[in-house]
Amino acid sequence: MAKDNGSTTASAKPKAKKNGSAKNGQHPTPLLDELEGGPWPSFVTGLKRLRESKGKQYAPMMNDLLGQLEHSYEERLGFWKGGTVGVFGYGGGVIPRFSEVAEKFPESKEFHTLRVQPPAGFHYTTDILRKLCDIWEEHGSGLIAFHGQSGDIMFQGCTTENTQKAFDALNEVGFDLGGAGAAMRTSMSCVGHARCEMSCYDEVRAHRSVINEFLDEMHRPALPYKFKFKFSGCPNDCVNAIHRSDFAVIGTWRDDMKVDQEEVKKYVGKVGRKYMIDNVIANCPTRSLSLNDDDTLEVDNKSCVRCMHCLNVMTKALSKGDDLGVSILIGGKRSLKIGDTMGTVIVPFMKMETDEDYEKLVEFAGEILEFFADNALDHERVGETIDRIGLPAFLEAMDIAPDPNMINHPRTSSYVRTDDFTEEAEKYFKRKAEEDEEGKKADGPGVSIAAE
Amino acid sequence: MSTDQEQPSLPDETGVPDPFQYMHPVLKENYGNWAYHDRLRPGVLHHVSHDGNEVWTVRAGTQRQMDVYTIRKLCDIGDEFAEGHVRFTTRSNIEFMLSTPDLIEPLIEKLTGEGFPVGGTGNSVSMISHTQGWLHCDIPGTDASGVVKSLMDDLHQEFIKEEMPNRVRITTSCCQVNCGGQGDIAINVQYTKPPKIDHDQVGNVCERPAVVARCPVAAIRPAMVNGKPSLEVDEKKCICCGACYPPCPPMQINGPESTKLAIWVGGKHSNARSKPTFHKLVAANVPNNPPHWPEVAEIVKTILYAYKENARDWERIGEWIERIGWPRFFELTGLAFTKHHLDTWHGARKSLNASTHIYF
């Protein structure tokens, strides 16, 4: 495509004429113009609409923004640098951007982003969206992203002077800044309870309870590095919590999955036995499924790991159990510095039903944050801290007992000192005995529910 | 608190907004009480509650970076069809919830007419996860909006149809920090040259010990250059990751030619069937070629259509390769296998084949 344009000067001239840039001072954007065609909605067309808004305060800014972006497309380099911009009372949440080519594009020399926390589950009324648009039209650039990779609504393009005004107006309609830098970051939760039968806990409640409890860690960055929470209602993990968060809360259940055998038969009747066996039975990762001769389904629930595959395929016939809660995995992050890590199971199951259960989740989140603040090195994510000190030391610090659900397999290396193995084994048996005792008590109400 | 007129008021630290004030009434009434769902056609979900209540959802793609006019247009559509309520997915698609199926077809017609493709559900290629790039990032090697727009133009048919073996999640990232995350196919900047250091600036701009500590391979050390305190890089050790660039902008990692793109495959977030996986490198040194990145698009489409043709139902790209083996993957896609595909980072041994399980 670049070849078709010929030399820059040759292509710039006719384009300039066509766009009438000589008249109204609009930067020609021949490279960006190529991104206006095609069936997908074009951000370039949107940016142009903003610069062509007559009488709007942001029109000149957006013209220079387009000019700078075109310049990036020509030079294949970015031209923004950071700085320090904020709002009164907060230490983070604004991403400062100053142009390195401001002499050419002076109107967009300051183009800061306000990161704003979204409602849990990303629900909006058109009324509130219009209010957000009005605010950004008055104080910002008119460009908003729904949403950034951490979940923030990103109000992109604000002068230093207007940053406080824009925030005050957003704050007035019930929105608050998100996280940036070495801080607790903005969180996200899946649609969950609001519109999904797979959802195993109240994601809105968990998301809001945890994040709103620790806002100080978001607004006044004082952690060693970033810390992210994410909330997925089931192991399909639609908000990518295991890969992308330090603290992943994933819904699950402990009892048997539910099977509507009549619906199973209907499904087999519809798709055929071969499809059923190839796509449901054979895809079970722990070989827990078997198709009976009468086209009903046999489930070995003790071996089921709730991967969700069969529930995803047979949404009507199969569903989650009744004993609902969450698994918590700690330490997911991308490359810097030790390489990618996924979260590790630290809490195999935490019941998530009563007020006390949700309080317990918040309490546990606080303990992990405290551990992170006290023990991580500068610019170290909690997964890296665990890697550095070893999982046993982390568990000891957190007063959590080791559990075989935390591992793929036990160690294969003999390089370990085991002289207190017997004492540790005794602790394990004692713990098991206590759990069995609690289990018996907990079984009480479960039995009565089953008898209904 | 303060009587000083000049001082702004302290923020109201409201945190995460309560979504119930914005939630569609049918979703609110049936919160936590959904029984099952099905998909009536690509882009349309149908959920039924335990009480027999129903809601229909129409999903459409957006450009994510939206001007207020686009947002207001979507609001108008939401007012006309969806009782003034919408939501967004994690991949920047917009969803309109309907209390009656009668409005599905008119809504689809309206959205399509206004240029918002309807789809992104089930076994489709959904919207590409999108980072900031040249539009707003301070360290980008490429543009995200442009790559996403170009690719989604190309993959539009795969968004509006559900013809893939399973869902396909494509991601982009403008530097090796990889804000776009893991993907079935990931298009990420891969730097190819060590940083070019502006020694006049380092001493003024960078906290040198912090920069030294940031390097994953300990290739940076403090040095005096031309009588000024600066940093130097052992270029034999340097892995060109760019980790030093954010804390020290005078260590420029990007170059118009040296910043390349790499393609990765087989990342998966979900726990369905197999455990979550990271994506793996399959092609590097792909030119960073705006405004259409045609070389990227060609490789992505080659991988995507090899998968579409060869994978079994429900296999994600990584699971498909797990079954057919890497030799067959490179054969089917015609991509080169090189020494750079052999991992050399910590734990690399776990990625090597220590068996006689060989594909011929």
Alpha carbons B189 and B172: distance in angstroms, whole number: 8
Contact assignment for B16 to A236 by CB distance below 8 Å: no
Distances (CA, A) of B271 to A237, A238, A289, A405: 7, 10, 17, 15
* Residue for token pair 């499904």: A267
Residue A252 has pLDDT above 70, yes or no: yes
In CATH, what is the architecture of A188-254+323-416? 2-Layer Sandwich (3.30)
Q: Reply yes or no on domain A258-319 having CATH 3.30.70.20.
A: yes
Alpha carbons B232 and B212: distance in angstroms, whole number: 10
Query: What single letter denotes the amino acid at residue A282?
Result: A
Q: What is the dihedral of CA A68, A74, A76, A81, to 10 degrees?
A: -20
Residue B116 has pLDDT above 50, yes or no: yes
Is the Cβ of B313 closer than 8 Å to some Cβ of chain A?
yes
Contact assignment for B24 to A123 by CB distance below 8 Å: yes
Q: What is the mean pLDDT of residues A11-27?
A: 51
> What per-residue confidence (pLDDT) applies to A131?
98
Which residues in chain B are closer than 8 Å to A251, comparing Cβ atoms? none
Contact assignment for A80 to B137 by CB distance below 8 Å: yes
Give the burial string for A395-414 (b: 16+ CB within 10 Å, else e). Answer: beebeeeeeeebeeeeeeee
Is the Cβ of B140 closer than 8 Å to some Cβ of chain A?
yes
* pLDDT tens profile B7-25: 788 999 999 999 999 999 9
Give the burial string for A297-313 (b: 16+ CB within 10 Å, else e). Answer: bebeeeebebbbbbbbb
* Residue extent(s) of CATH 3.30.70.20 domains in chain A: 258-319
* Contact assessment for residue A123 and residue A183, using Cβ atoms and an 8 Å cutoff: no
Contact assignment for B256 to A46 by CB distance below 8 Å: no
Query: In angstroms, what separates the C-alpha of A101 from chain B's closest C-alpha?
Result: 13
* pLDDT tens profile B296-313: 999 999 999 999 999 999
Residue B145 has pLDDT above 80, yes or no: yes
For A194, the closest of B27, B75, B274 (CB atoms) is B27
Residue B93 has pLDDT above 90, yes or no: yes
Q: Reply yes or no on domain A82-172 having CATH 3.30.70.2500.
A: yes
* Contact assessment for residue B106 and residue B24, using Cβ atoms and an 8 Å cutoff: no
* Long-range contacts, A417-421 (Cβ 8 Å, 24+): none
Residue A13 has pLDDT above 80, yes or no: no
> What per-residue confidence (pLDDT) applies to A442?
57
Domains defined along chain B, listed by start: 19-113 (3.30.70.3340), 133-192+256-343 (3.30.413.10), 196-251 (3.30.70.20)
Which stretches does DSSP call E strand in A80-226? 80-81, 94-95, 98-99, 113-116, 123-125, 143-146, 153-156, 188-189
* Residue extent(s) of CATH 3.30.413.10 domains in chain A: 188-254+323-416
ipTM reported for the complex, 2 dp: 0.95
Nearest CA in chain A to B273: A285
Which residues in chain A are closer than 8 Å to B146, comparing Cβ atoms? 32, 35, 73
